[in-house]
C-alpha cells in the first residue's frame, strides 16, 4: 500500500506547508473510474483506460493508441489528397464535357447552314439547267432556221428588190443573235458546272460536319462515363473519410482519457517516491500523532475487554463542539465512509503495515472511499452520540462527541500512548 507524507508536528504550522501536497494527494478515484468507463465506450474494449493497471501498461496503451491515431491520420490525409485529385479531375472532365457540348452545338449550327446552302445551290443548279435547256432549244431553233434558209437565201436577199440597208440590218441581227445565244449557252454551261462543284463541296461539308458531331457525341459519352465513375469513387471516399474521422475522434477521446490516467499514475508514482524518502511509517510515530480533533477533551479512556458489550470500550471518546473538524492522525487511504450501527457516520483510514484508525459519530463525512488523505485534510465534522449510545457520559449529551479507535491487524490498540501528550 502506498502511504503519504507525514506533516511536521503541530497542525497550525503544518497546514500551510502541506497545502500543495494535500491537493496533489486528493486522487479522485471515482472520477478516474468514470473517465475510464467513458474511454471504454469511445475505444475498443482491449484499449480501455483503467487506473488500476500499472503505469507501464497504461503508457504502452497510450503509445499504441497514439501510433494508431498517427496511422489513421496519415491514411486520412492520403484519402483526402486522393479525393482532392479526383475532384480536380472531375472538374476538368465537366469542363471538357461543357466544351464538347458547345462544339456539338456549333457543329449542328454549321451543319444546318451547310444543308441550307446545299439546298439553295441545288435550287440554283436546277434553274441554271432549266435556263441552259431553254437556251439550247432556242439555239437549236436558230440553227434549224438557218439550215432551212440555206446559203442561197442570202443571195436572194441581195438580189431582190428590197432595200439593201434593211437587208444588212437583218443579216447583222441574225449574226448578233447567234453570238448572243452562243455566249448565253456557254455562260449557262459554266454556271451549271460551278453550281455542281459548289453543291458537291456543300454535301462533303455536310458529311464532314456530321462525322465531327458524331465523334464529339462519342467523346461526350466517354467523358460522362468517366465522370460517373469518378463520382462513385468520390462517394466511397467520402464515406471512408467520414469513418476515418470518426475513428480518429474516438481514438482522440480515448487517448485524452489515457493521458489523464497516465498523468494521475505518474503523480501517484511521484508522490510514492517522495513518501519513500521523507515519510515515517505509522509504527514509528508512537507518541507523536496529533489529536484527531482540536479544542477537545478526552472524556472516555480505552477500556479494551474490561467492559464486555460496550461498543466504545475498544476506543476513546473526545468531547468537542458539534461540527468541529476531524483530521486523520496520519497519512493513509479511506477504506470505509458510511453509516454503521452503534457508531453513526464512520470513517476508517488505512495507514499501511496493518494499522487503521476509526472516527465515529460524525455529523458529516467529507471524504470518499479510495481517497488518499494527509494529516491536514479534514475527514469529517464531529457530531454527537445518539440516545441509544448513551452511557455514563449521557449527562453531557449536549456536547459533541468523537469516537476514535486504533486497530493493528484487526486487534484493538489503546490510542492514547500514540497521541501527543501535550495536545488536549
Average pLDDT over residues 208-219: 83
Q: Which of 61-70, 131-140, 319-328 has the highest mean pLDDT?
A: 319-328
Residue 340 φ/ψ, nearest 5 degrees: -135, 130
Quick one: DSSP state of residue 279? P
> Does position 417 have pLDDT exceeding 90, yes or no?
yes
Min mean pLDDT across 1-15, 252-266, 300-314 is at: 1-15
The whole-angstrom separation of Cα 264 and Cα 26 is: 11
332 close to 349: Cβ distance less than 8 angstroms: yes
Average pLDDT over residues 400-424: 87
Residues 6 or more apart from 261 whose CB is under 8 A from it? 32, 35, 36, 39, 49, 50, 51, 58
Average pLDDT over residues 28-37: 34
The predicted structure's pLDDT at residue 22:
43
Average pLDDT over residues 86-103: 84
Q: What is the pLDDT of residues 109-159, one digit of tens each?
A: 887 887 888 788 888 878 877 877 887 777 777 667 666 655 555 556 556
What residue spans in the chain does CATH classification 2.70.70.10 cover? 285-418
- What is the model's pTM? 0.40
Q: Measured at the alpha carbon of residue 308, what is the angle toward residues 306 and 313, in degrees to the nearest 5?
A: 65
> If pLDDT is split at 50, 70 and 90, which confidence band does 369 have?
very high
What residue spans in the chain does CATH classification 1.10.287 cover? 43-279
Cα atoms in the Cβ-side hemisphere of radius 13 Å centred on 25: 27
CATH class of the domain whose range is 43-279: mainly alpha
Paired with 337 in beta bridges are: 347
- CATH annotation of 285-418: 2.70.70.10
The predicted structure's pLDDT at residue 381:
95
Amino acid at each position: 500500500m502506498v502511504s503519504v507524507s507525514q506533516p511536521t508536528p503541530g497542525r497550525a504550522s503544518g497546514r500551510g506547508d502541506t497545502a500543495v501536497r494535500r491537493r496533489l494527494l486528493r486522487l479522485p478515484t471515482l472520477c478516474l473510474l468514470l473517465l475510464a468507463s467513458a474511454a471504454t465506450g469511445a475505444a475498443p474494449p482491449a484499449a480501455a483506460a483503467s487506473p488500476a493497471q500499472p503505469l507501464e501498461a497504461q503508457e504502452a496503451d497510450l503509445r499504441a493508441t497514439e501510433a494508431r491515431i498517427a496511422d489513421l491520420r496519415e491514411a486520412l490525409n492520403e484519402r483526402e489528397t486522393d479525393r482532392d485529385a479526383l475532384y480536380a479531375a472531375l472538374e476538368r472532365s465537366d469542363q471538357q464535357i461543357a466544351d464538347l457540348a458547345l462544339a456539338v452545338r456549333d457543329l449542328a449550327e454549321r451543319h444546318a447552314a451547310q444543308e441550307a446552302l446545299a439546298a439553295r445551290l441545288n435550287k440554283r443548279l436546277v434553274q441554271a439547267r432549266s435556263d441552259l435547256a431553254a437556251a439550247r432549244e432556242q439555239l437549236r431553233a436558230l440553227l434549224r432556221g438557218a439550215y432551212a434558209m440555206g446559203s442561197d437565201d442570202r443571195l436572194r436577199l441581195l438580189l431582190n428588190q428590197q432595200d439593201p440597208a434593211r437587208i444588212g440590218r437583218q443579216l447583222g441581227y441574225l449574226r448578233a443573235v447567234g453570238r448572243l445565244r452562243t455566249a448565253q449557252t456557254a455562260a449557262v454551261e459554266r454556271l451549271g458546272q460551278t453550281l455542281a462543284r459548289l453543291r458537291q463541296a456543300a454535301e462533303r461539308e455536310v458529311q464532314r460536319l456530321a462525322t465531327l458531331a458524331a465523334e464529339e457525341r462519342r467523346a461526350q459519352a466517354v467523358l460522362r462515363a468517366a465522370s460517373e465513375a469518378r463520382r462513385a469513387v468520390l462517394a466511397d471516399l467520402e464515406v471512408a473519410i467520414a469513418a476515418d474521422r470518426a475513428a480518429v475522434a474516438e481514438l482522440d477521446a480515448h487517448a485524452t482519457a489515457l493521458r489523464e490516467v497516465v498523468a494521475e499514475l505518474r503523480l501517484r508514482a511521484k508522490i510514492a517516491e517522495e513518501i519513500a524518502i521523507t515519510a515515517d511509517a505509522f509504527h514509528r510515530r508512537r507518541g507523536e500523532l496529533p489529536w484527531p480533533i482540536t479544542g477537545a477533551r478526552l472524556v472516555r479512556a480505552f477500556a479494551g475487554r474490561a467492559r464486555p458489550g460496550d461498543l466504545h470500550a475498544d476506543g476513546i471518546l473526545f468531547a468537542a463542539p458539534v461540527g468541529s473538524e476531524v483530521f486523520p492522525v496520519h497519512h493513509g487511504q479511506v477504506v470505509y465512509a458510511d453509516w454503521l450501527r452503534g457508531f453513526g457516520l464512520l470513517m476508517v483510514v488505512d495507514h499501511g503495515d496493518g494499522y487503521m484508525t476509526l472516527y465515529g459519530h460524525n455529523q458529516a463525512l467529507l471524504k470518499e472511499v479510495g481517497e488518499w488523505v494527509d494529516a491536514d485534510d479534514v475527514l469529517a465534522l464531529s457530531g454527537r452520540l445518539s440516545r441509544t449510545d448513551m452511557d455514563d457520559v449521557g449527562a453531557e449529551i449536549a456536547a459533541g462527541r468523537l469516537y476514535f479507535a486504533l486497530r493493528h491487524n484487526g486487534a484493538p490498540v489503546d490510542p492514547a500512548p500514540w497521541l501527543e501528550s501535550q495536545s488536549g
